[in-house]
Amino acid sequence: MQREHWGSRVGFILAAAGSAVGLGNIWKFPYLVGAEGGGVFLVVYVGFLIAIGFCVMIAEIALGRHAQANPFGAFKRVGGKRWSIFGLLAVLTAFTILSFYSIVGGWTIAYVVKTITGGFSGYSGAEFESHFGELVTSPIEPIVYHAAFMAFGVLIVINGITSGIERAAKIMMPLLFILLALLVVRSLTLDGAMAGVRYFLVPDWSHLDADMVAAALGQAFFSLSLGMGALITYGSYLGEKESIPNAAGWVVCLDLLVAVLAGFLILPAVFAFNMDPAAGPGLTFITLPAIFAELPFGIVVQLCFFLLLFVAAITSAISLLQVVVSFVGEEFNVCRQWTTVWVGVAIFLFGVPSSLALGVWGDVTFYDMNIFDLLGYITDTFFLPIGAIATCLVAGWVSYDKFAAEVTNEGQRPFAYLTAWKWMCRVAAPIGILWVMYEAIFGA
Ligand code: PFF
């Protein structure tokens, strides 16, 4: 059967940017900037995004396009049987991450629904805090929203690459940018917003330490959707005439743009209302709603914000779902529609314990971590970096010639930084990633 391809270059870029731009940009990036000391984190982050993230992204897309297969098939075809284990690991990582990513995605639906139905009217700061606590610890409610989120994902992916994922990206990504632009304007025009802008943009080098640098590199990988097979999979549907460095460049720029805009949205608002920028994960679900409640027409702002978060989350989730669906569909030769439904159900069920871990199963811990945190720790610290290193080694050493031909379209589109890219994949990126693993395991 002929492999499906993206309808256009823009379609691929929007879908890949949709994968990259997610909760990582709007939820995690601003709270990391807040917690890790502001502008200095931004500077280190941008450095990693360009130097390492861009190179690994090129390698992933090239691997997928060259092999015309899901991550397992791709590693097997390009590196031989021994390397296929890393493809399998990527599929497993995508499966695991989606199982808890979807829980947070479900919370965004809960907030959209509650905002529309007036569930938050009259709430003040403390009430938002207790509401968030009640939502995430409840045994039923978040699981219902988790199911709804997965159902959205399945409904998109079931329609295939062009009519499903590409079409959704073409509608949702422009919507995301419009919502984001509106919210940034609102935030920057608040009295006292400039203190937040300064905190975000002016580096204070005294915050520079190993812990922060490791967090920045980890975040760069997560934000660009690297190490989980998403871009290998999306790359496998990319037409052979397209330039991979060019497409990857667009995706990195769009991802960075959204992270920076999210910083301009969240930090000025936090400073204008004298809130704590280092509030951590609750910044988005507790601090921001409390701020919105103080604004005129705050309910509209709140609705736009949680819609934005939902859109960002779902376009990322579908790329993770597609990783698993393409693997099962191709390796076991089963029809796409049924595969999508059953994979969706399996991921939903696997995610249920993670949701319960935040409430009734909170006492079930391993190494002092509940199930939700444990899965995040294992995937972030081991699976994701190992997948990224394996891609670099295959691209830089095992099959460099094939990759070089893919990246330059058989020499027809020379890539000015090919040599730098080669050494990045061979040495610098793997060492950088190994160091982050070391920091995550043995660091403070
Ligand atoms: N890049 C997404 C984010 O920043 O939220 C998360 C993600 C999606 C990671 C898809 C990996 C992936 F394959």
Could you read off the pLDDT of 321-368 as tens digits, one per residue? 999 999 999 999 999 999 999 999 999 999 999 999 999 999 999 988
Determine the distance separating the centroid of ligand 1 and the alpha carbon of 94, expressed in angstroms. 9
In this prediction, residue 320 carries a pLDDT of 98
In this prediction, residue 258 carries a pLDDT of 97
Determine the distance separating the centroid of ligand 1 and the alpha carbon of 222, expressed in angstroms. 6
223 lines ligand 1 (CB under 6 A): yes
302 lines ligand 1 (CB under 6 A): no
Least confident segment among 107-116, 126-135, 139-148: 126-135
Cα 245 to Cα 238: distance, rounded to the nearest angstrom: 13
24 lines ligand 1 (CB under 6 A): yes
Determine the distance separating the centroid of ligand 1 and the alpha carbon of 317, expressed in angstroms. 7
Least confident segment among 263-267, 291-295, 315-319: 291-295
pLDDT above 90 for 124:
no
pLDDT above 90 for 287:
no
326 lines ligand 1 (CB under 6 A): no
pLDDT above 90 for 282:
no
Q: Which atom number of ligand 1 is nearest to the Cα of residue 22?
A: 5
pLDDT one-digit tens code per residue, 140-177 = 999 999 999 999 999 999 999 999 999 999 999 999 99
- In which band, very low, low, confident or very high, does the pLDDT at 283 lie, cut at 50, 70 and 90? confident
230 lines ligand 1 (CB under 6 A): yes
In this prediction, residue 278 carries a pLDDT of 86
102 lines ligand 1 (CB under 6 A): no
Residue 81 burial by CB count (10 A; 0-12/13-18/19+): exposed, middle or buried? exposed
* Residue 385 CB contacts under 8 Å (≥ 6 apart), including other chains: 221, 227, 433, 434, 436, 437
Contact 257, 85 (CB under 8 A): no
Q: Using alpha carbons, select from 7, 3, 342, 358 the residue that is nearest to residue 169.
A: 7
Q: Which atom number of ligand 1 is nearest to the Cα of residue 224?
A: 1
- In which band, very low, low, confident or very high, does the pLDDT at 1 lie, cut at 50, 70 and 90? low
Q: What percent of the chain has pLDDT over 70?
A: 100
322 lines ligand 1 (CB under 6 A): no
State the virtual CA torsion across 32, 35, 41, 42 in degrees, nearest 10. 60
Determine the distance separating the centroid of ligand 1 and the alpha carbon of 42, expressed in angstroms. 19
pLDDT one-digit tens code per residue, 55-101 = 999 999 999 999 999 999 999 999 999 999 999 999 999 999 999 99
* Nearest alpha carbon, ligand 1 atom 12: 225
- Any idea which residue has 């589109």 for tokens? 413
Report residue 87: phi and psi, to 5°.
-65, -40
Tokens of 379: 């995937």
* Nearest alpha carbon, ligand 1 atom 7: 225
CA dist list (Å): 21 to 15, 29, 268, 313, 354:
10, 11, 21, 8, 23
Cα 92 to Cα 106: distance, rounded to the nearest angstrom: 21
pLDDT above 70 for 444:
no
Determine the distance separating the centroid of ligand 1 and the alpha carbon of 223, expressed in angstroms. 6
Determine the distance separating the centroid of ligand 1 and the alpha carbon of 27, expressed in angstroms. 12
In this prediction, residue 37 carries a pLDDT of 86
Cα 192 from chain centre: 31
Task: List, as one string, the DSSP characters of 70-124.
Answer: -HHHHHHHHH-GGGHHHHHHHHHHHHHHHHHHHHHHHHHHHHHHHHHTTTTTT--
State the virtual CA torsion across 32, 310, 100, 125 in degrees, nearest 10. 60
Looking at per-residue confidence, does 329 or 280 come out higher?
329
pLDDT one-digit tens code per residue, 214-241 = 889 989 999 999 999 999 999 999 999 9
* Nearest alpha carbon, ligand 1 atom 9: 225
DSSP 176: H
pLDDT above 90 for 425:
yes
Determine the distance separating the centroid of ligand 1 and the alpha carbon of 110, expressed in angstroms. 21
Longest dimension (CA), the chain: 63
The preferred substitution site among 172, 314, 320 for testing ligand 1, maximizing ligand atoms within 8 Å of CB, is 320
The preferred substitution site among 96, 223, 236 for testing ligand 1, maximizing ligand atoms within 8 Å of CB, is 223
Determine the distance separating the centroid of ligand 1 and the alpha carbon of 22, expressed in angstroms. 6
Q: Mean pLDDT of all residues in the chain?
A: 95
Tokens of 413: 């589109």
In this prediction, residue 211 carries a pLDDT of 87
* Nearest alpha carbon, ligand 1 atom 10: 225
SS3 140: coil
Q: Which atom number of ligand 1 is nearest to the Cα of residue 231?
A: 13
In this prediction, residue 196 carries a pLDDT of 95
399 lines ligand 1 (CB under 6 A): no
